[in-house]
């Protein structure tokens, strides 16, 4: 009996060899032809079943357990392997968290829910259904989250970042996701929506007036990030818009809408609006007073201490440029200077330092497009050193934000 069992594998192997010899007549070529035939039959069979319309594509029933396991296994391993070598920057930065929170509300909460906001019944019927994210993040480290948010996940509805070159924005989202699991609904509201305008004060009643206007809901959304008064949220996550040149605002919104200026945060917003609405938005923000005070918030940057000697050096650089490195004078185009300024050139004095520094880095690395004039900034920023960028951003941020005199653009 024992010997019969021991012989079993050999007998089975012998049996297969016999069948194979009968089918192929011992020839390699016939063996390969047989394999090819089997493959073709499988593909044709699969095509036939698909053609009959009997494959279940209904999202009414879940995947089979084995399919679900396989997809999860493949996804986890792909993310783990492909995120090797991605080095996270410092993520405990309030500006990054604020920017991430603003965009989470625009681009993620509808599918993934947020503190105090369960996922809608509709997305719960997607397969795979987007998970309620605050409970689903602990399994991923920052580099893996970066990879997922940057690339999206194929075969699911998880989209890739709309502006692939804006890795800085993806890191802002990761910084926010790091905070999400322990965030209360009140903290989420404060981060993603900003201070709720108190009835009665000037800016907010202006905001309430605009709510009766068709532009109202659009402006209320802009206000989440740019503030009801258009002066941002006290930190460099979002630029000031109030009193900025109307031409520059309009051309920048158009540049986001047509993809000439890349931003995963602003492109989806601008691309969803008609040109007429963009024109009204540009006019609205250009007319808001530039000198209103920014409402105090928890997120506000602490006042930066400026070293006088360093500021004087920065002023020299802004006024005269650095001829030996081919850096032009900034004040020629951006002021402060007496005399009018081309309306296509933005005001930068009094803008947030972190925003200015980021934009200069983006110009320098070629990742910022913009209006038809953007090329002048590419050559201006190209040869700036990181120290000069920091100095110039801090110098301009320390100046008052005020409306500047502009010449009207020649029109034909």
Shortest approach of ligand HEC to residue 181 CB, angstroms? 12
**Structure-block tokens of residue 372:** 């038809």
Distance CA 194, CA 225 (A): 7
**Structure-block tokens of residue 133:** 């994210």
Shortest approach of ligand HEC to residue 253 CB, angstroms? 5
Beta-bridge partners for 322:
327
Q: Is 288 in the site for ligand HEC (CB under 6 A)?
A: no
Shortest approach of ligand HEC to residue 28 CB, angstroms? 44
Distance CA 132, CA 121 (A): 12
Q: Which of 31, 88, 159, 216 binds ligand HEC (CB under 6 A)?
A: 159
C-alpha 159: how far from its chain's center? Answer: 11
From residue 159, how far is each of 108, 141, 171, 236, 322 by CA, in Å? 10, 19, 16, 27, 44
Q: Is the peptide bond before 128 cis (omega within 30 degrees of 0)?
A: yes
**Cβ 346 vs Cβ 245: under 8 Å:** yes
Compare residues 204 and 371 and give the one whose CB is closer to ligand HEC. Answer: 371
Compare residues 102 and 243 and give the one whose CB is closer to ligand HEC. Answer: 102
Q: Which of 114, 360, 397, 404 binds ligand HEC (CB under 6 A)?
A: 360
Residue ranges in 26-85 that form contacts with ligand HEC under rule CB under 6 A = 75
Q: Is 207 in the site for ligand HEC (CB under 6 A)?
A: no
**Structure-block tokens of residue 352:** 């947030």
Q: Is 367 in the site for ligand HEC (CB under 6 A)?
A: no
Q: By three-state DSSP, how is residue 341 classified?
A: strand
Contact flags string 291-330 toward ligand HEC, x per CB under 6 A: ------------------------------------xx-x
Q: Is 289 in the site for ligand HEC (CB under 6 A)?
A: no
Q: Is 86 in the site for ligand HEC (CB under 6 A)?
A: no
Strand ranges inside 155-278, DSSP E? none
C-alpha 92: how far from its chain's center? Answer: 18
Q: Is 227 in the site for ligand HEC (CB under 6 A)?
A: no
**Cβ 146 vs Cβ 69: under 8 Å:** no
Q: Which of 78, 88, 106, 193 binds ligand HEC (CB under 6 A)?
A: 106
Q: Which of 179, 226, 254, 394 binds ligand HEC (CB under 6 A)?
A: 226
Scanning 18-26, 42-50, 205-213, 370-378 for contacts with ligand HEC by CB under 6 A, the matching segment is: 370-378
User: Which residue in 74, 259, 55, 261 sits closest to 156, CA to CA?
Assistant: 74
Contact flags string 246-285 toward ligand HEC, x per CB under 6 A: ---x--xx---------x-xx--x-----------x----
Q: Which of 24, 156, 279, 297 binds ligand HEC (CB under 6 A)?
A: 156
In terms of phi and psi (left: phi > 0; alpha: psi -120 to 50; beta: otherwise), the region of 335 is left
Q: Is 231 in the site for ligand HEC (CB under 6 A)?
A: no
**Cβ 241 vs Cβ 278: under 8 Å:** no
CA dihedral 76→183→88→268, nearest 10 degrees, is 80
What's the number of CA atoms in the CB half-sphere (13 Å) around residue 292? 23
Q: Is 102 in the site for ligand HEC (CB under 6 A)?
A: yes
* Binding site residues, ligand HEC, CB under 6 A: 75, 99, 102-103, 106-108, 111-112, 128, 130-131, 133, 136, 145, 148-149, 153, 156-159, 173, 218, 221-222, 224-226, 238-239, 241, 249, 252-253, 263, 265-266, 269, 281, 327-328, 330, 332-334, 344-346, 348, 356, 359-360, 370-371, 373-374, 376-377, 380, 392
């Amino acid at each position: 009996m024992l010997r019969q069992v021991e012989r079993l594998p050999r007998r089975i192997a012998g049996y297969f060899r016999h069948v194979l010899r009968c089918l192929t007549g011992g020839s390699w070529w016939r063996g390969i032809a047989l394999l090819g035939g089997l493959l073709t039959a499988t593909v044709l069979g699969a095509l036939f079943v698909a053609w009959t319309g009997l494959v279940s594509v209904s999202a009414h029933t879940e995947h089979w357990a084995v399919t679900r396991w396989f997809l999860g296994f493949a996804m986890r391993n792909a993310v783990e392997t492909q995120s090797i070598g991605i080095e996270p920057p410092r993520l405990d930065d309030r500006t990054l968290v604020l920017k991430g929170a603003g965009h989470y509300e625009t681009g993620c909460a509808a599918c993934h829910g947020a503190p105090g906001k369960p996922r809608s019944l509709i997305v719960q019927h997607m397969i795979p259904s987007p998970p309620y994210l605050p409970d689903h993040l602990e399994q991923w480290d920052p580099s893996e989250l970066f990879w997922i948010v940057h690339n999206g996940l194929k075969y699911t509805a998880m989209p890739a970042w709309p502006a692939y070159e804006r890795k800085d924005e993806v890191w802002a989202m990761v910084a926010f996701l790091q905070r999400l699991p322990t965030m209360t609904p009140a903290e989420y509201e404060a981060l993603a929506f900003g201070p709720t305008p108190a009835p009665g004060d000037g800016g907010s009643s202006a905001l309430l007036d605009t709510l009766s206007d068709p532009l109202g809901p659009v402006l209320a959304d802009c206000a989440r990030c740019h503030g009801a008064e258009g002066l941002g949220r006290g930190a460099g996550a979002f630029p000031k818009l109030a009193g900025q040149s109307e031409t520059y605002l309009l051309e920048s919104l158009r540049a986001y809408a047509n993809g000439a200026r890349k931003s995963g945060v602003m492109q989806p917003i601008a691309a969803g609006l008609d040109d007429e609405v963009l024109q009204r938005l540009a006019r609205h923000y250009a007319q808001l007073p530039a000198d209103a005070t920014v409402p105090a918030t928890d997120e506000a940057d602490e006042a930066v201490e400026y070293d006088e000697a360093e500021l004087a050096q920065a002023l020299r650089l802004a006024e005269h440029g650095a001829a030996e490195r081919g850096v032009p004078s900034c004040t020629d185009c951006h002021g402060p200077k007496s005399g009018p300024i081309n309306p296509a050139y933005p005001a930068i004095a009094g803008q947030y330092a972190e925003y200015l520094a980021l934009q200069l880095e983006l110009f320098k690395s070629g990742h910022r497009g913009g209006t038809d004039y953007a090329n002048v900034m590419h050559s201006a920023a190209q040869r700036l050193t990181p120290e000069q960028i920091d100095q110039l951003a801090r110098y301009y941020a320390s100046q008052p934000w005020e409306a500047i005199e502009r010449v009207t653009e020649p029109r034909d």
